[in-house]
Chains A and B, each alone.
Chain A
Amino acid sequence: MSSHTYEESKSIATKTIILLGIITIVEVVIAYIGKGIWFPSLQEAMNPRLLTVLLGGAMIILSLYKAIKIVFEFMHMSYEAPGLSKTVLLPLLLLVWGVIAFLWEGTAWKGYRQKIIDRNEIPAEQQMQGTLIKELETEDLI
């Protein structure tokens, strides 16, 4: 239960929803810039990969911030007993491992797919020669 008065809780809720709305609009603006719909010149001025990472990272951080606001303000997690919030939030740390491990795996599969395509283009008798295979293996796949 919140220790705030009714009026205080009401104003916190109003501020939170306005903040969430603004963040959502900012996210969509970033998505528009990232897809080159707005400021297409930025796509040429910057390294496209760097731009994707920067804008994508910004959207991920903003979404995480939105999630934290929803859990702590709307769901009142910040007003619960510390034990309660720990038992709910700490297990979620497993997802940090989950995200890293599976995206790593997915990236590796992408590399193997390209490797198979490359190898299939080599005539069968040449595939047996060690040098060619070695060449392909040393390529930076990840």
Chain B
Amino acid sequence: MATDTLEHHDVDHHHADGPPSWDGGEAPMKASYGKLMMWYFLLSDAFTFAGFLIAYGTLRVMMPTWPVPDFVFQLFPFAGHTSLPLMFVTLMTFILLFSSWTMVRAVQEGQRENQSGVAVWMFLTILGGAAFLGCQAWEWTTLIAKENMTVTTNPFGTHIESGVYIDNNGNETQDVFEAGEPYLIHVIGQGHGDDHGDDGHADEGHAASTEYTPHHDEPGDYTDALIDEKGYIHKKYKVTEGEDAGIIKSQAFGPKAFGGLFFFITGFHGFHVLSGVIFLIIIFINVMSGLYVKRKNGYEMVEKMGLYWHFVDLVWVFVFLLFYLL
């Protein structure tokens, strides 16, 4: 994107102003070199993202269960324990959509050579991109630091049988569940249960797995829970239906692939947003310096940047669909 700015060919005015674009008589496909190559870059990037998302879909359909999105993504900043399924990620979607619209406006102002208009709308686009990145940072922090999800460990499981949790004496508690109910495996020493601090911990939101907290703080096999080496508390329950009725089992981790896929794909998208914001800032500085005024080509650099920025929004449409909605 940077190199083609040095030698710019003016598509719109070439019939009037002498040498035609691309120096071959006609601009191929009536587009400048830079714009056409931006389209082809985006095509290749679309295949990259499609590859990742298809891998996600394949691994998801091959698993008997998959983390339930409205259970995994239900927290909201400053909302404490309130369960607001998908609300935060919907906000993120709207931020990105809004920044896409401000980018369109910047391109339109550029086409009529309105320098201050381009600057204002590009500035708003930069703010939108930065806000999106901030939201993603909060989302990742919550998943990693509060809910202990890592690339290889997925504490979000789903019950495949109905059952009832048991207490420290081996008796059944009031805490019953049905097949299909999601749970979150906690880690010892993270202050859930009685400790309702204002740290926004997921206690009430993830009530099903936190109403009862085992009173152990060392790894080991206890009557009511199995605590593994890393401190994950796999609560024990008695199956109440089906072939295994009466057998005591401990909560299993969810599909291992979930963490890796989530962090890799949303991370790859976030990396696109980050590079987009950096390029937006560079082009914004050029707009302010009056560089594109001299080129008299309707701020084509802003238009090319716009293509990239809309593509990032386009990819998010599918990330939003596959990770959060379905």
Contact = CB atoms under 8 A, between A and B. Distances in A.
Nearest to B30: A81
Interface of A: 1-2, 6, 9-10, 13-14, 16-17, 20-21, 24-25, 27-28, 30-32, 35, 37, 56, 59-60, 63, 66-67, 70-71, 74-75, 80-81, 83-84, 87-88, 91-92, 94-95, 98-99, 102-103, 105-107, 109-110, 113-114
Contacts of A91: 43, 47
Contacts of A24: 90, 93-94, 97
Contacts of B54: 95, 98-99, 102-103
Given A59-B325, A95-B47, 9 more contacts: A9-B108, A24-B93, A37-B70, A63-B325, A84-B31, A84-B39, A88-B40, A107-B61, A110-B61
Nearest to A59: B325
Chain B interface residue number, banded: 35 or more
Contacts of B320: 63
A87 B60 CA distance: 32
Contacts of B50: 95, 98
Contacts, number: 142
Contacts of A31: 69-70, 86, 324-326
B104 A32 contact: no
15 contacts: A1-B111, A13-B101, A17-B98, A32-B85, A35-B69, A66-B317, A70-B313, A74-B103, A75-B311, A81-B29, A84-B30, A84-B31, A91-B47, A92-B43, A113-B62
Nearest to B298: A1
Given A88-B39, A106-B61, A81 B321 contact: no
A92 B61 contact: no
B12 A102 contact: no
A102 B29 contact: no
Contacts of A105: 58
Contacts of A13: 101, 104-105, 108
Contacts of B318: 63, 67
Contacts of B39: 84, 88
Contacts of B103: 74
A105 B61 CA distance: 9
Given A70-B100, A81-B30, A110-B61, A28 B325 contact: yes
Given A28-B90, A102-B57, A17 B97 contact: yes
Nearest to B31: A84
A20 B69 CA distance: 22
Contacts of A67: 314, 317-318
B142 to A, nearest CB: 19
A14 B298 CA distance: 21
A43 to B, nearest CB: 11
A80 B39 CA distance: 11
Contacts of A71: 310, 314
B120 to A, nearest CB: 14
Contacts of B68: 35
Given A88-B43, A109-B62, A35 B321 contact: no
Given A20-B97, A37-B85, A83-B29, A70 B314 contact: yes
B57 A106 contact: yes
Contact of B321 (A59, A103, A110): A59
B63 interface: yes
Contacts of A56: 326
Nearest to B11: A1
Given A24-B94, A81-B31, A102-B54, A6 B86 contact: no
Interface in B23-46: 28-31, 36, 39-40, 42-43, 46
